[in-house]
Structure 1
Amino acid sequence: MFRIVGLFFIISCSLLCAANVDYAQAKKYLREERYDEAYRVFVYVGANRRQLRPYCDYYRAVASYGAGKYVRAANILERYTGQQDIPYLGEALELLNDCYVQLDRTAEIHPRAAYNKAVKLFAQSKYPEVVRLLAFVSANGQLAELPEDVYYYQARAYMYCAEPQTATKILSAQRTAGAVYYLGVLALHRQQRALAMQRFSEVADKYPSSEYAPLALYNLARNAGGRASLTYYRRLYQNYPESRIADDAAWEVGWTNYRQGNYRAAVEVFLAGYGLDRYSDNADALLYWAGRSYQKLRRRQDAEITFQQTLREFPGRFYGWRAAQQLGLTPSLPSDNVQLSDIRPQTDKALLELVKIGEYDDALAEAKLITDRNKQERVSTALRIYVAVAAHRAGSYKEAIALGTDVLRDVEKNHDQTVVVPPEFWQVCYPQAYPYIVVANAGKHQLASAYVYALIREESRFDQKALSHANAYGLMQLIPGTAQQIMRQRGILMEEFAPEFLFRSDMNILLGTDYLRQMLDWFDGNQYLALAAYNAGPTAAGRWLRQHGGLRNFDPDVFVENISYAETRNYVKRVMRNYWLYEAIYGG
């Protein structure tokens, strides 16, 4: 009898383990577009693992749709979306709409899901798909049920599809501030600057209480030039201090004053801008440059106090570290006297299983369900730390960094210790992946390992298979042409080069560190210039250096802020911040 029970227990455990392994394999089949195989495995896992059944049902529908079996997908999704407490409800409704389109059942489209999908498609520049999807919603007479900006997405999609007359017709039919504003955007797109300025002025003057008034002022400022530009920026941050772009406007005015040598006015504006939103993306810059302005005014004590505040408020940001360097200090990273093992969040069996098999996107979806059940506004810090640490330990660095960065953002905003973070959690957010390869190649090219780690974290989040829209490959995001040039220089021979070769971590880091060393040598070892060159090319970096006045009196802060490419400017800040953090976490 005991033998039979024991045998049954062993078989049951084996089936459960097999189901978990098969779930991960089915997800892999999905990524490989092997939809029929994925579907069969999800059916099996769903039958054997009750906790994973909702996820299997959703992915069965995804696999069915991918295989072109739209009726089956629609049937699964109609049952699925009728349930309570399920993951991926929004995504499921969007996929159900896709099925209805394929089955010519567009009258059944869910309007809100269509709107959400249209917003995503617009962000991906898939304008014809936006036009087509919203046309179905319009035909059903459901546009009026959606947020007002649905008309603007529809009009702008037509605009980018080279149908400006249709876009104008849609917007002209809406007698609102938003319609007038987007008519101005449309005019800018058609290079009708005078008409655009007229539209934006109409919004700012006739609809001052609308959400589009600050946006109109921002566009007026960007297109006016000279003193008029500063006037519009001032109106924006003074009249609309709660706008999400108010601190951007304050920055523009403060930075202009600083460059013109009007340091008293710069201090006032920088501090006013900082006071608008103490944790905006610009907050550390506004506070730090107030300190720099005090320096110019020879008010050393005020400058020191301001730098101390910048360091205290933003120890994990670029200007927090620059403030520390002004003070001759090293920031202490915010953490608490707890261990990772002490953090025991409320979980359920589904989340534990998903973490165990490394499906962190599904684990986070389950964490959100737990949060909803507990009627909390957002996923708890403990749950996010738990999933992030599990991802890190499994080598899923991209997912760990994404989750960890979200937690650290809360740490920055909660100086009242409501967010508890163990000291070692910083290693989760700033991992040392591929250590032997990085250290060996950094040493070979006389680079600080922390500098290389900092760059890789920014370029790819340690995703070995990363491929950018600019056709950059792998950990250090190498362009194939650049990689081949380095290979020729170093006598690295291959019978036939393929870009996928750069997905190999050893070769990517070998070539990437070589190129980084070349950029450092090009600019006399200047780390800021080398990063600007790595991102935008040595020609652009050289031009910015000449505009700056050369290396003799190089001011890194002024140089960075004068980089004309916003992407490169932010890139240099983030990599340098990463570099300093890596040195602080692991030792210089």
Structure 2
Amino acid sequence: AARAVELFKRVLWQFPQEPVASSARTELDNLAAQGVMVPPFTSEEKFQQAKALYRATRYLEAARTFQETLALSLPSAIQTEAKLYLGISLVQLRQWSEAMKVFDILLKNRPGSDVAGEALSWFGRAALRQGDLDKLQWVHETLKTRYPDRAERAKALWYLVSYYESKNQDQKAIQACRELIESFPQDSLAQEAYWRIGWIHYKKGRMQEALKVFDELLGQYANTAFRPQVLYWKARLLERSGDSEKAQEVYRHLCQDHARSYYCHRTRSRLGNDLLQWQVSRGSVSITGGRMEASWWDEKSEVLTPQILNGDPQYKRARELMLVAFSEEAVRELNTLVSRYAPNRKVLLFLADQLYTLGAYDQSLRIIRLYFQETLEKGVPPMPNRFWEQAYPLGMMDRIVKLLDSDRLDPYVVASIIREESMYDPKAVSRAGAVGLMQVLPETGRWVAGRLGLKEFEPDRLFDPELNIKLGAWYLTHLLEQFKGNLVFTIAAYNAGPEAVTEWVQRGNDQDMDEFIEQIPFSETRLYVKRVLRSYYEYVIMNMCLYNPLPPPLFLDKGSCPEYS
């Protein structure tokens, strides 16, 4: 019995994020009820349990466990580390004031500790969300004095930029951007600082200054991730100045180099297909050494098994499990092959296809997003339609349509939300405790269930895909009605909450939707809106334009469909 207690306890503190932990807890409770001695966790075990939850992004449980750990007797080094992780967990949970209190105590008690720089950076992030300029300036000055060359100082400068811009203190924002660029030219934030300077000029109507900064950014950083963004807004500037011919040339460059990006989709939505010819390939392609060659998709677009897998015993087990309909077991076997064959893109595409066929849309999508990011962004090398079906999963579309109670909600929007919220993982749990396909918070789920007259709601029911979609879609419709049918506001509110978006809308003075998105103060929400809209465009392309199985999209004209080859 003592050995069993030891093993069950080890599961609980080493693997608290795994499903088996719940069974271990039940077994320990049963042993205790039988009179077996179950000693409490040591301070070290408790700390390791908290760190495991933190690494698994289970921040709510991690914060609670770190607090329990800090109530125990700890060596000073572990106590400092526990406070750091507690503070970060609270930031991730958006509990800004509580996080600042934790960091304040840590920095006062251990100002010279190894984690002080990191603590200062996170303290600054929380201070930004609280709108506390004094604290932001203190964080930057402290980092500048103690750690002038560390990346944490670049972040502190960026927090100041964000604060000043939110308060329309443009000159101070530009000054902080320039200091960041000069002090940290190789940091990725320097590129974003260039972008913000150009954007501030754009907002103020200073077109020549904006164009100059955008050109500086492209000249300084040839491969910048901001390239599609800069090209799009450069073209918009040229349009405003009346140079439509040059603007169209810039738009062409954007879509030639970044054909499937959010900004190219926005270009097509604005200009239609007369300017830009869309091509979605049909037929056979293969990948060898990263280059497309003829063909490992056969003439019927069926995926051929790579030769290297035919002699792999683990793949053979996976195939046998698939043949006897042991899908979950087959998925596990296929997933273990991914890391082994990571350098072989042909095998990775094949494994993604097999996982998709088994209904493991999340596992298939994870492979594609991890190993084929450039293809998703640029559209090259050309891929058959099957690849895009896996990148923007279609397997749940029929179910989504059946679950929608309102004809005001577009099923493509729901699919896009699912893709970006959970990557189609019905078991997903966010750092804030949101659950399932549409990442519904338990309190939101309870409220919606009440509105729908669903009795006996329990948070665990959010793992049921159909109920999760039903509740999430109802809430999405509620937001759409609240924001009078505006899709951009609705998507932003699904991420940041309706109160924040209402404030941004009131501040925006009926600005252009593209401009509204760029000026969303929360970078997480700004990027989220762009990702969801990009997915929405892709779903319309694949579903409406290519297969045409569903009603027309509500927020995108059928005329936006590409020419298919």
Indicate the TM-score class for this superposition, using the shorter chain for normalisation: 0.5 to 0.7
Q: Percent identity?
A: 22
1:581 maps to 538
| Counterpart selection for 1:484 from 449, 458, 463 | 449
Contact 2:436–2:465 (CA under 8 A) maintained in structure 1: yes
1:250 maps to 194
- Cα 1:587–1:132, aligned 2, differ >3 Å: closer, same or farther? same
CA distance in 2: counterparts of 1:522 and 1:549, whole angstroms: 18
Contact 2:191–2:226 (CA under 8 A) maintained in structure 1: yes
More deviation in 458-467 or 425-434? Answer: 458-467
1:563 maps to 520
| Cα shift at 1:218 | 2.6
- Cα 1:105–1:216, aligned 2, differ >3 Å: closer, same or farther? closer
2:294 maps to none
Whether 1:268 aligns to 2:208 is: no
CA distance in 1: counterparts of 2:464 and 2:51, whole angstroms: 37
- Cα 1:195–1:524, aligned 2, differ >3 Å: closer, same or farther? closer
Contact 1:474–1:508 (CA under 8 A) maintained in structure 2: yes
- Cα 1:584–1:354, aligned 2, differ >3 Å: closer, same or farther? same
- State the Cα deviation string for residues 122-174 of structure 1 (Å, max 9, x = none): 8847368679999x9x97x9x9xxxxxx9995673476584755544544256
CA distance in 2: counterparts of 1:383 and 1:319, whole angstroms: 31
AA paired with 1:530?
Answer: T
Contact 1:475–1:508 (CA under 8 A) maintained in structure 2: yes
| Cα shift at 1:302 | 2.8
Whether 1:463 aligns to 2:425 is: yes
- Higher relative CO (Cα under 8 Å, sequence separation at least 6) belongs to 2
| Counterpart selection for 2:385 from 423, 437, 443 | 423
- Cα 1:529–1:421, aligned 2, differ >3 Å: closer, same or farther? same
| Cα shift at 1:427 | 0.3
Give the SS at the match of 2:395. Answer: coil
Contact 2:160–2:173 (CA under 8 A) maintained in structure 1: yes
Give the SS at the match of 2:514. Answer: helix
1:527 maps to 487
Contact 1:486–1:514 (CA under 8 A) maintained in structure 2: no
| Counterpart selection for 2:246 from 294, 299, 302 | 302
1:44 maps to none
| Counterpart selection for 1:546 from 488, 501, 506 | 506
- Cα 1:498–1:193, aligned 2, differ >3 Å: closer, same or farther? closer
Contact 1:254–1:270 (CA under 8 A) maintained in structure 2: yes
Output aligned runs, 1:209-220, within 5 Å: 210-220=150-160
CA distance in 2: counterparts of 1:236 and 1:284, whole angstroms: 22
1:367 maps to 338
2:237 maps to 293
Query: How many residues of Structure 1 are paired with residues of Structure 2 in the alignment?
Result: 472
- Cα 1:105–1:404, aligned 2, differ >3 Å: closer, same or farther? closer
Whether 1:120 aligns to 2:60 is: no
- State the Cα deviation string for residues 305-340 of structure 1 (Å, max 9, x = none): 222222223233221201222332264458984125
- Cα 1:441–1:271, aligned 2, differ >3 Å: closer, same or farther? farther
AA paired with 2:504?
Answer: W
More deviation in 514-523 or 236-245? Answer: 514-523
CA distance in 2: counterparts of 1:474 and 1:157, whole angstroms: 26
CA distance in 1: counterparts of 2:472 and 2:86, whole angstroms: 42
| Structure 1: tracts of 5 or more residues without a match | 1-34, 40-58, 70-100, 107-112, 144-149, 372-377, 488-492
2:289 maps to none
CA distance in 1: counterparts of 2:22 and 2:58, whole angstroms: 25
CA distance in 1: counterparts of 2:220 and 2:269, whole angstroms: 26
| Counterpart selection for 1:408 from 367, 372, 375 | 372
| Cα shift at 1:294 | 2.1
AA paired with 1:425?
Answer: F
| Cα shift at 1:582 | 1.0
Contact 1:270–1:290 (CA under 8 A) maintained in structure 2: yes
Whether 1:156 aligns to 2:84 is: yes
Output aligned runs, 1:379-390, within 5 Å: 379-390=343-354
1:227 maps to 171
Contact 2:103–2:119 (CA under 8 A) maintained in structure 1: no
Give the SS at the match of 2:385. Answer: coil
AA paired with 2:390?
Answer: V
CA distance in 1: counterparts of 2:280 and 2:218, whole angstroms: 22
Contact 1:474–1:505 (CA under 8 A) maintained in structure 2: yes
- Cα 1:213–1:323, aligned 2, differ >3 Å: closer, same or farther? same
1:322 maps to 266
Whether 1:259 aligns to 2:174 is: no
- Cα 1:444–1:242, aligned 2, differ >3 Å: closer, same or farther? same
| Structure 2: tracts of 5 or more residues without a match | 1-6, 12-17, 29-39, 88-98, 286-296, 322-326, 546-565
Contact 1:294–1:303 (CA under 8 A) maintained in structure 2: yes
- State the Cα deviation string for residues 428-451 of structure 1 (Å, max 9, x = none): 111123343323455961544333
CA distance in 1: counterparts of 2:196 and 2:158, whole angstroms: 11
1:454 maps to 416
Output the TM-score relative to the length of structure 1.
0.64
CA distance in 2: counterparts of 1:509 and 1:173, whole angstroms: 47
C-alpha RMSD of the superposition:
4.9
Contact 2:438–2:468 (CA under 8 A) maintained in structure 1: yes
Contact 1:343–1:386 (CA under 8 A) maintained in structure 2: yes
- Cα 1:282–1:132, aligned 2, differ >3 Å: closer, same or farther? farther
| Cα shift at 1:514 | 4.5
CA distance in 2: counterparts of 1:407 and 1:278, whole angstroms: 23
- Cα 1:132–1:268, aligned 2, differ >3 Å: closer, same or farther? farther
| Cα shift at 1:288 | 1.5
- Cα 1:130–1:265, aligned 2, differ >3 Å: closer, same or farther? farther
- State the Cα deviation string for residues 64-106 of structure 1 (Å, max 9, x = none): 987989xxxxxxxxxxxxxxxxxxxxxxxxxxxxxxx979999
Output aligned runs, 1:73-222, within 5 Å: 120=55, 124=59, 126=62, 156-157=84-85, 162=102, 164=104, 167-168=107-108, 170-172=110-112, 182-183=119-120, 197=137, 200-201=140-141, 203-204=143-144, 210-222=150-162
AA paired with 1:315?
Answer: A
* Greater C-alpha Rg: 1
Contact 2:334–2:351 (CA under 8 A) maintained in structure 1: yes
Output the TM-score relative to the length of structure 2.
0.66
| Cα shift at 1:282 | 4.1
Contact 1:437–1:509 (CA under 8 A) maintained in structure 2: no
1:432 maps to 394
CA distance in 1: counterparts of 2:348 and 2:536, whole angstroms: 25
